[in-house]
Amino acid sequence: MNHSDCAISRASLARFADEMSAHEYFERILWPNGPVCPRCGVQGRVGKLNGNSTRLGTYKCYACRRTFSVTYGTIFSASHVPLHKWLQAIYLTDGGTKSIRPHHLQRILNVSFRTALVMLRKLHEAARAEESAILSAAGNDKGDSFLGDGDGSSAWIRESYSYCC
């Protein structure tokens, strides 16, 4: 791998540089036609909450009157790790299928060793749990990665990933 490949890979990681860009990216993948309530399935009666005390990416369904975010029902939902670090970890591990040492992930993402270890474990478990779905998916090529935990809130990332030192 030459230096231009590393520059391309680092430029791709910059796409998830902050929390706002990561949420926008994940929303485009998960909801290409606009937000959908994960509880009742309504699409049209959903509004984004933008208050000062509201967490980033929070939506409210006016049909069932519940709040939700794009991470609801995914492996990121109960995590204290920001979404942009999760997306960077997915990029670096090729959706949980490529092996990377926790120490390397710790240095790249600037998280603790234990956090890196837990992130890698969850990504590998999600990849293993969805292995049969990935293998049987129509039109799946080698660059596809699966996001989600199998409860219906999942998404495919269709890009070619390459790990850079």
Alpha helix segments (H runs only) across the chain: 3-14, 19-30, 83-93, 102-109, 113-129, 131-136
Mean pLDDT, rounded, for 56-73? 89
Distance CA 4, CA 18 (A): 24
Question: pLDDT digits over 122-151, tens only?
Answer: 988 888 877 655 455 544 444 445 555 454
Distance CA 32, CA 11 (A): 24
Distance CA 155, CA 165 (A): 27
Least confident of 39-43, 66-70, 132-136: 132-136
- Maximum Cα interatomic distance, the chain, rounded to a whole number of Å: 53
Summary mean pLDDT of the chain = 76
Choose among 21, 89, 87: nearest CA to 57: 21
At 43 the pLDDT is: 87
Q: What angle do CA 38, 126, 64 make, to 5 degrees?
A: 10
More confident residue, 82 or 157: 82
What are the structural domain ranges in the chain?
Answer: 3-31+73-158
Distance CA 76, CA 74 (A): 5
At 115 the pLDDT is: 95
Distance CA 61, CA 45 (A): 6
At 106 the pLDDT is: 92
